[in-house]
């Protein structure tokens, strides 16, 4: 084989690992398919192997990625090695690329033998039945299955099989547009526009988050926008404590009463932060030195420690119904979040109510204890607004 200058982006280097399953998922424009195509061309040049490209639906060869492979063969000047026919690509060492739709070619798929590399495109559309047929077919020693998909729902068979329940002998690569060295400036501008104007849609399309089609999200009254300092206004700071599985978080916000808007300015977020290091986390949020910080009252010893370090700490007001009281208070406002508060934005897009397993109905007063750490900080920050029992402090 001639020496060729062919490579894949750094994030996709694990394609060259020895695991049987290579799971490539995430948002659009992330070079997942491009990297898999380059990898398969390299593997086909190393030794003669049959390579199967498949997807759930393929009515004709035009529906496959064959034209994309042809383009990369041209770009890397691999025409001396690969010859493209109407339906396949043949290497001079005997490697052959074949292209099938799974849905309408069950018999052909079952009869395939010796496949060493299988690349599954648009795998978010693959049914469980197709997986049950395909996986046992790719059974040769040392065979690989590359799964490429942009998540749709977290209940889809591909997401459940490979992400929710990681299969043994697999490597999972989540990649998004910022991992793509080939991305054009035009695409970057379009992505940034969506990010600022429809953050939920951006999360799904370009960050690879599963679409939430349910009505059980707690908050729908928020947007990404330019936050404004209040004129003679009041800043509120809240803090939630975590460590390993839950993060420690700090949030800074203010209320614009006339517009009925709640603006979120800054956040701090970190895992495995020791108590003695919490002051460092707090100091990353501006204005903390002139304001009270309302923190989770279930950790009085931590509040006491931070008070001794010079912070103005207050315990949050908790009690029966306090979670829903805080949620309803926040729902009274249009919430505007600064784009740099990425973890807050993630939580607002995912914080949801429990669903009754028997009836499928939302439990309207039972939010999940998940994706809510900065939201808890926000509730704490605002908790004294519910009854005005302590003085407020102007920043």
Name the nearest CA neighbour of 124 among 175, 166, 161, 176.
161
Chain segment 270-290, per-residue pLDDT in tens: 999 999 999 999 999 999 999
* Nearest residue to 253 via CA among 268, 274, 271, 267: 267
Check residue 177 and give its pLDDT.
96
Q: What pLDDT is attached to residue 394? A: 34
Cα 259 from Cα 277, distance rounded (Å): 38
What's the pLDDT at 350? Answer: 87
**Do 10-179 and 222-385 agree at the fold level?**
no
Taken as a whole, the chain contains a residue count of 395
Under 8 Å between Cβ of 304 and 233? no
| Cβ neighbours, 10 Å, residue 297 | 16
The pLDDT of residue 392 is: 41
Spatial contact of 275 and 305, defined as CB atoms under 8 Å apart: yes
Q: What share of the chain is helix, strand, coil (3-state, %, to 5)?
A: 35, 25, 40
User: Which of 326, 251, 319, 321 lies closest to 286, judged by CA?
Assistant: 251
Q: How far is CA 108 from CA 54, 116, 134, 146, 216, in A?
A: 12, 16, 11, 20, 43
Contact 344, 251 (CB under 8 A): yes
Number of other residues whose CB lies within 10 A of the CB of residue 346 = 17
**Other beta carbons within 10 Å of 84:** 16
Please list the pLDDT of the chain residue by residue as tens digits (395 residues).
455 677 789 999 999 999 999 999 999 999 999 999 999 999 999 999 999 999 998 888 887 899 999 999 999 999 999 999 999 999 999 999 999 999 888 788 888 889 999 999 999 999 988 999 999 999 999 999 999 999 988 878 999 999 999 899 999 999 999 999 989 999 999 999 998 888 888 998 999 988 765 678 899 899 888 898 877 778 999 999 999 889 999 999 999 988 899 999 999 999 999 999 999 999 999 999 999 999 999 999 999 999 999 999 999 988 888 999 999 999 999 999 998 999 999 899 889 999 888 877 788 889 999 999 999 999 999 998 875 444 343 33
Side-by-side strand order, sheet with 312-315 = 222-224, 334-337, 261-270, 248-256, 235-240, 292-295, 312-315
Among 238, 337, 350, 338, which Cα is nearest to 291's? 238
Q: Residues 321-367: pLDDT tens digits?
A: 899 999 999 999 999 999 899 999 989 988 999 988 887 778 888 99
**Domain 222-385 in this protein, CATH class:** alpha beta
Domain 10-179: CATH superfamily is P-loop containing nucleotide triphosphate hydrolases (3.40.50.300)
Contact at 8 Å (CB) between 25 and 150?
Answer: yes
Give the per-residue pLDDT at 3. Answer: 59
Q: Where are the domains of the chain?
A: 10-179, 222-385
> Which pLDDT score, from 0 to 100, does residue 326 have?
94
């Amino acid at each position: 084989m001639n020496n060729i200058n062919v490579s894949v982006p750094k994030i996709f280097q694990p394609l060259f690992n020895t695991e049987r399953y290579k799971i490539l998922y995430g948002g659009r424009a992330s070079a997942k398919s491009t990297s898999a195509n380059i990898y398969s061309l390299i593997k086909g040049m190393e030794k003669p192997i049959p390579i199967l490209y498949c997807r759930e639906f393929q009515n004709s060869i035009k529906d496959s990625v064959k034209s994309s492979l042809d383009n990369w063969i041209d770009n890397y000047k691999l025409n001396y090695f690969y010859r493209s026919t109407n339906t396949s690509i043949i290497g001079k060492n005997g490697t052959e690329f074949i292209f099938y739709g799974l849905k309408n070619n069950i018999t052909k798929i079952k009869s395939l033998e010796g496949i060493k590399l299988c690349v599954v495109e648009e795998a978010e559309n693959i049914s469980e039945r197709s997986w049950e047929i395909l996986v046992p077919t790719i059974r040769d020693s040392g065979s690989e299955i590359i799964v490429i998909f942009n998540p749709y729902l977290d209940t889809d068979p591909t997401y459940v099989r490979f992400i929710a329940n990681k299969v043994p002998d697999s490597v999972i690569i989540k990649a998004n547009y910022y991992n793509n060295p080939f991305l054009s400036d035009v695409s970057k501008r379009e992505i940034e526009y969506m990010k600022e104007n429809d953050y939920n849609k951006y999360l799904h399309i370009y960050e690879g988050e599963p679409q939430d089609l349910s009505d059980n999200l707690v908050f729908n009254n928020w947007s990404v926008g330019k936050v404004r300092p209040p004129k003679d206004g009041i800043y509120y700071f809240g803090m939630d404590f975590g460590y390993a599985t839950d993060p420690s978080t700090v949030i800074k916000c203010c209320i614009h009463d006339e517009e009925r808007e709640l603006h979120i300015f800054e956040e701090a977020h970190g895992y495995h932060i020791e108590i003695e290091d919490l002051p460092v986390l707090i100091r990353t949020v501006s204005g903390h030195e002139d304001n009270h910080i309302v923190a989770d009252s279930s950790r009085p010893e931590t509040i006491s420690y931070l008070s001794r370090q010079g912070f103005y700490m207050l315990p949050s007001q908790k009690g029966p119904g306090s979670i829903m009281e805080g949620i309803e208070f926040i729902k009274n406002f249009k919430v505007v979040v600064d784009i740099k508060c990425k973890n807050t934005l993630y939580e607002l897009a995912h914080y949801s109510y429990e669903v009754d397993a028997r009836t499928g109905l939302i439990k309207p007063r039972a939010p999940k204890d998940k994706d809510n750490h900065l939201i808890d900080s926000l509730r704490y920050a605002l908790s004294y607004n519910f009854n005005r029992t302590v003085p407020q402090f102007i920043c």
